[in-house]
Amino acid sequence: MMKSLLLIFLILFLAGCVQIRHLEYKPFVHDIDGKNELYISTYAAGYAQKKTDSIPFVFKKLVTHDKLYFQVFIRDIKKKAGKNPNIDSILIHSFSYRIGNNPSTELISNYDSNFWQQGQLKYNPDAKETSPILYVDGWTVSVDISFTLNGTDYSIQGEMPSAEHTTTRSLIMWEIHR
Give the pLDDT confidence of 117-156 residue by residue, as tens digits. Answer: 998 878 876 655 678 999 999 999 999 999 999 999 999 9
Domain ranges of the chain: 2-177
Residue 56: how many CB atoms within 10 A of its CB? 8
Q: First-to-last CA distance in the chain?
A: 34
pLDDT per residue as tens digits for the range 102-128 = 999 999 999 999 999 998 878 876 655
